[in-house]
């Protein structure tokens, strides 16, 4: 081959490469990443893409008026989906701090999401999750590889779709809210509700079969006899769209919600479900309990709208013609204990989500974990409160809720679980188990089934908590409880034995992170 031929070939190759670059479609605009949940629905994250040659920047789209996000609510409605890249720094990896920078060459897109540990328990970040795939029409068909170890609470996706979308598809319309008025009490939940909820252990793994098995286990384990009557389905039951009449639909995990409701009712139990502010219907399925979570609403409403938004559902539940316990899940924001009863609420969350860890439970139960009010522009946040600060606002039919129980899920010791259960009982909190009640250990059964808050006989419950890291001797002075100078009898509710009470105080050694719970009667 002559030197002239080689030069001509080189020039031809150069122009072919340039033509290929010019032939690649422009990716600028709004795109949505759809990660399958395994139930016929998708987790969706919207991005604005900007292309500069082979470099493509993916910026997570945010609401035009973003209110403060609910604490510890990652993975639920309104939060970036599990398995989807978050906003991050450059270099091809997403993570907190900036956009993702992807590479786009020969019709193929590749980007990485920085790994993050779950629950703050990992000292070393897991490897990044890699997304790569080819453009087919107006969408990329992506494979997902690498990343952290699979989360047993969710399906582990191996593929995703990134497709063109519009800003209109991202923007959620803000529905009008009513003028404030008081909603008539439904007369339910005369005592704090007791039951089971799917979220803490199963999250996205909940399905029809699991709920039926839990209903069966509520009977065989003795939980129903002990007062646990609600079988509550948390998030991830919803379908992608509504039916022709505007009613919410279920995903493939729940083929017939009415039949499931009938099954739970046949066991002498009640069934609950989860939703978020917006038009919805529950009554035709035979639902007995609604958990109404704010996190999906935070894209379109601010904390100042909570009262009206929850009032709207309170009115709707009364009109349904069915007695439905109304559970407000808004993380204690906007001083909900002041207006919760006015919207027909039977219970309301006072904190962020609990984790199956000592420090999480300790903070929610004992620490200043309750938001002190709505933060005003250019003002510091109001001081946080404790559960005891708002305990007076928990009354018959209207209860403070520091979140569900983690007892039996494996992240705490038996003594720590006893402290958890004791504190929730002392606070008169709802007791919604979140473990696998089909296979409870005897220790877990002993905690969930063999204690009750002793008030009917006018006795006094006394709890001595040791939050320290060593066993400690703790005393209670009877005068401080109005029991001084009286003849007292006592029973240790965890040891199931009588205790001798004499003198002006009682002292006992309490184990590390443990509790001594007494039933004290005066004669």
What amino acid positions are annotated as catalytic residues?
Answer: 293, 353
Measured distance CA(194)–CA(339) in Å, rounded: 23
* CA trace torsion 156, 161, 165, 167 (10° rounding): 30
Tell which phi-psi region holds residue 147, choosing left (phi > 0), alpha (psi between -120 and 50) or beta. Answer: left
Spatial neighbors of 86 by CB under 8 A, at least 6 apart, are: 60, 80, 94, 95, 96, 113, 114
Pairing of strands 289-293, 325-329: parallel
Quick one: the chain helix, strand, coil %, rounded to 5? 25, 25, 45
418 three-state secondary structure: helix
* CA trace torsion 233, 236, 242, 245 (10° rounding): 0
Q: How many CA atoms lie within 13 A of 451 on its CB side?
A: 31
The 10 Å Cβ neighbour count of residue 147 is 19
Measured distance CA(369)–CA(382) in Å, rounded: 12
The 10 Å Cβ neighbour count of residue 393 is 17
The 10 Å Cβ neighbour count of residue 203 is 18
């Amino acid at each position: 081959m002559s030197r002239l031929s080689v030069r001509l070939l080189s020039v031809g190759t150069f122009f072919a490469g340039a033509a290929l670059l010019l032939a690649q479609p422009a990716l600028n605009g709004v795109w949505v990443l759809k990660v399958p949940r395994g139930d016929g629905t998708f987790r969706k994250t919207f991005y604005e893409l900007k292309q500069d040659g082979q470099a493509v920047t993916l910026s997570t789209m945010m609401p035009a008026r973003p209110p403060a996000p609910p604490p510890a609510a990652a993975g639920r409605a309104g939060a970036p989906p599990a398995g989807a890249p978050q906003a991050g720094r450059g270099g091809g990896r997403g993570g907190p701090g900036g956009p993702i920078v992807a590479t786009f060459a020969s019709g193929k897109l590749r980007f990485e999401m920085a790994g993050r540990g779950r629950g703050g328990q990992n000292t070393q970040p897991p490897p990044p999750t890699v997304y790569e795939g080819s453009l087919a029409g107006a969408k990329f068909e992506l494979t997902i590889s690498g990343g952290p170890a699979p989360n047993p609470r969710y399906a582990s996706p191996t593929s995703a779709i990134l497709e063109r979308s519009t800003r209109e598809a991202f923007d959620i319309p803000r529905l009008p809210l009513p003028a404030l008025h008081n909603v008539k009490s439904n007369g339910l939940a005369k005592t704090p509700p007791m039951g089971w909820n799917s979220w803490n252990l199963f999250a996205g793994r909940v399905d029809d079969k699991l709920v039926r098995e839990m209903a069966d286990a509520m009977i065989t384990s003795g939980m129903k006899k002990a007062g646990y009557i609600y079988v509550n389905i948390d998030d991830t039951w919803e379908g992608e769209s509504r039916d022709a009449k505007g009613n919410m639909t279920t995903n493939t995990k729940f083929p017939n919600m009415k039949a499931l409701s009938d099954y739970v009712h046949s066991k002498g139990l009640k069934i609950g479900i989860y939703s978020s502010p917006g038009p919805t219907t529950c009554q035709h399925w035979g639902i007995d309990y609604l958990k109404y979570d704010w996190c999906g609403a935070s894209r379109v409403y601010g904390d100042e709208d909570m009262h009206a938004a929850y009032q709207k559902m309170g009115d709707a539940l009364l009109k349904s013609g069915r007695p439905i316990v109304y559970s407000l899940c808004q993380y204690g924001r906007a001083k909900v204990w002041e207006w919760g009863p006015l919207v027909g609420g039977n219970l309301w969350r006072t904190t962020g989500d609990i984790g199956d860890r000592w420090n999480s439970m300790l903070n929610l139960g004992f620490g200043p974990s309750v938001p002190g009010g709505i933060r005003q522009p250019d003002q510091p946040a109001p001081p946080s409160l404790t559960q005891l600060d708002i305990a007076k606002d928990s009354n018959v039919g209207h209860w403070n809720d520091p979140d569900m129980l983690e007892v039996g899920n494996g992240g705490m010791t038996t003594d720590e679980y006893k402290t958890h259960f004791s504190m929730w009982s002392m606070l008169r909190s709802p007791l919604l188990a979140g473990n696998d009640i089909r296979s409870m250990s005897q220790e877990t059964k002993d905690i969930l089934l063999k204690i009750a808050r002793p008030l009917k006989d006018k006795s006094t419950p006394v709890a001595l908590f040791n939050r320290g890291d060593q066993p400690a001797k703790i005393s209670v002075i009877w005068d401080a409880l109005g029991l001084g100078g009286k003849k007292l009898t006592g029973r240790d509710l965890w040891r199931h034995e009588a205790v001798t009470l004499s003198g002006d105080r009682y002292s006992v050694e309490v184990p590390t992170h443990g509790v001594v719970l007494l039933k004290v009667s005066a004669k």
